[in-house]
Amino acid sequence: MLAEQYLKALSTMGESGIGWIDGLFKLCVIFLVDLAEILGISYEEINIYIFVIIWPCLTLYQTFRILMLRRSIRKLKEEI
């Protein structure tokens, strides 16, 4: 069953022709399939959670945080 999930997930990739990128991609797919198995969800589900929900939320949070820190730095510079 798990081998079938590996093959299904790996078959969705296009070969880039760059060895280290293809190797890293395969390692990440294996990791995601294993993590999905541990969590009891599908490979597709874990992809959605990570790349459509979690990553964009973290990016938005970081952007907001950076803007707030820049504002704080500007205020501190003005006080000096």
pLDDT at 16: 79
d(CA 47, CA 7): 16
pLDDT of residue 14: 65
Q: Residue 41's domain spans which residues?
A: 2-79
**Whole-prediction pTM:** 0.69
Indicate the number of domains in the chain: 1
**CA gap 37, 13 in Å, rounded:** 20
The number of residues in the chain equals 80
At 14-73, the pLDDT tens digits run 677 888 888 888 899 899 999 999 999 999 999 999 999 999 999 999 999 999 999 999
pLDDT confidence of residue 51: 95
- Whether 2 has a pLDDT exceeding 80, the answer reads no
pLDDT for residue 10 is more than 80: no
